[in-house]
Amino acid sequence: MGRTYVGSRLRQLRRERDLSQASLAATLGLSASYVNQIEHDVRPLTLAVLNKITETFGVDATFFSRDDDSRLLAEIQDVALDKELCPSPFELHELNEMVQNHPDIARVLVDMHRRYRNVRDKLSVATDVRHSAPSATGTVAQALSMPHDEVRDFFYARQNYLDEIDRRAEAIAVEMGVKVFSVRETEQALAERLESRHGVTVTTSANIGNRLHFLDRASKTLTLSSRLIAGQRAFRMAAELGYLEVGPLIEEAVDGGHFNTEEARTLALRGVASYFAAAVMLPYELFHAEAERNGYDIEYLCLMFGVGYETLCHRLSTLQRPKLRGIPFTFVRVDRAGNMSKRQSATGFHFTHSGGTCPLWNVYDTFTNPGTIQRQLSQMPDGRNYLWVARTVRHHQGRFGETGKLFAIGLGCEARHAERTVYAEGLNVEDFSNATPIGPGCRVCSRENCAQRAFPSINRTITIDAHSSSVAPY
């Protein structure tokens, strides 16, 4: 192990555990002055001390790795690339030093930039609406609110993991005896719990319009669409159970998001209830153990737990419990037009807000071969390597002529985790010389000579010779 200085990381760990330097030193069997020197980067972290910390606190050794800050570094780079705020570029090593030495300041800057960007985008949309329809005040207000963006940022800021919600859901799952290959038993247990504890009767019907479930509070009847399969029925029952059994906890989690509108808050409540439902059907310790044991084989895990592909991928992206982390995945859902309706990331793979995503990304290739998993070894412009797994999913196409929903689901992890998955079989994850060169989006991508480039990069001046041409248009 080389000389590694981890002062800010050790402070973070100590504060998360609400310990003083003296208490931490006593717990690790070290002197208080020694801990103080590590925290102030006077002494490097030794292998012996690292082992003590990982054994005592149950954190992954990569907690102290520079790579573990990759997401924050990618986010602060996005801030630095905004020329409206930073007309002069920052060197990468300067940003890296900020992330390493002052991570809290970096996070505040990222949050401030996210809020600024949201306000700027909303005002731009509202201005366009106002100019095209001066009397459409309701439309302007709707453009300014954008509740889905607020909710997406709420989960993104929490790395898609809500600890207390997750643990309460797991406890309920244990009470109900949730286990693998038992989705119908889980469905029955949920129905019985709803009726016995809350007086809610569960029925199914083919005549509830385009709704998939509906709770009549007056009659305490939960009606599920007959088009739903067992896992889908259980998921909706578990979500309604969340409101009934941990409602105050869900409210508390949402209140911490400080949403700007009631619409955003209501959407967040539904999002947290859905998180609870997934945590009931896929209880953390059981699901983590089976995921590790089966190489994160998504389709097999779907069979084991009786849930859909998207639900299972989303749950895999939440395995960030401090003492029992899974692979830190990035999860995305996109449509054929390139709209990204879901995005969660625990890695350095960062989604730019300056234009669309990369057309070379295999997530988009899945639409040409629906229902089949595709793998991709990819490399970002900063040299970071990833393994991506992508597949399409189709939602809720019922009768002939009804419009269904087709999405591509992408799940990616850094190359250092790839061998823990079945998807690395037959791939040389040590050699990325033939990896697909992808980027965060054309407007901020630094790659030159990319034939797929749609827009010039905002990072460099456009130089065009009217009497010559090349593969790249800019």
Q: Residue ranges of the domains in the chain?
A: 7-64, 72-145
Number of Cβ atoms within 10 Å of the Cβ of 467: 4
CB proximity list for 282: less than 8 A, separation 6 or greater? 305, 307, 311, 312, 315
Alpha carbon distance 230, 227 (integer Å) = 10
H or E element at residue 216: strand 213-216
Say if residue 329 is exposed, middle or buried (CB neighbours under 10 Å; 0-12, 13-18, 19+): buried
> Per-residue confidence at 385, pLDDT binned at 50, 70, 90?
confident
Alpha carbon distance 250, 138 (integer Å) = 29
Residue 140 confidence (pLDDT) above 50:
no
For residues 268-294, b (16+ Cβ closer than 10 Å) or e, as one string?
A: bbebbbbbbbbbbbbbbebbbebbeee
The domain made up of 7-64 is a member of CATH 1.10.260.40 = yes
Q: Where are the alpha helices (DSSP H) in 347-451?
A: 362-365
The HSE-up count of residue 295 (CA atoms within 13 Å, CB side) is 10
CB 347 within 8 A of CB 396: no
Query: Using one digit for the tens of pLDDT, what is the confidence trace for 91-132?
Result: 777 887 788 788 888 888 888 887 777 777 666 655 554 445
Higher-confidence residue of 291 and 135: namely 291
Query: Using one digit for the tens of pLDDT, what is the confidence trace for 333-380?
Result: 999 988 888 888 766 666 665 556 888 999 999 999 999 999 999 988
Alpha carbon distance 119, 101 (integer Å) = 29
pLDDT at 137: 47
Query: Using one digit for the tens of pLDDT, what is the confidence trace for 165-216?
Result: 999 999 999 999 999 999 999 999 999 999 999 999 999 998 888 889 999 9
Query: Using one digit for the tens of pLDDT, what is the confidence trace for 450-469?
Result: 888 888 876 667 777 788 88
Specify the residue for token string 């030159």: 448
The mean pLDDT of 222-241, rounded to a whole number, is 95
Residue 143 confidence (pLDDT) above 70:
no
Alpha carbon distance 389, 376 (integer Å) = 7
CB 328 within 8 A of CB 346: yes
Alpha carbon distance 365, 132 (integer Å) = 37
The mean pLDDT of 49-73, rounded to a whole number, is 68
Higher-confidence residue of 37 and 17: namely 37
Q: Which amino acid is at 127?
A: T
User: What 3-state class would DSSP assign to 22?
Assistant: helix
Number of Cβ atoms within 10 Å of the Cβ of 263: 16
Number of Cβ atoms within 10 Å of the Cβ of 94: 11
Higher-confidence residue of 322 and 161: namely 161
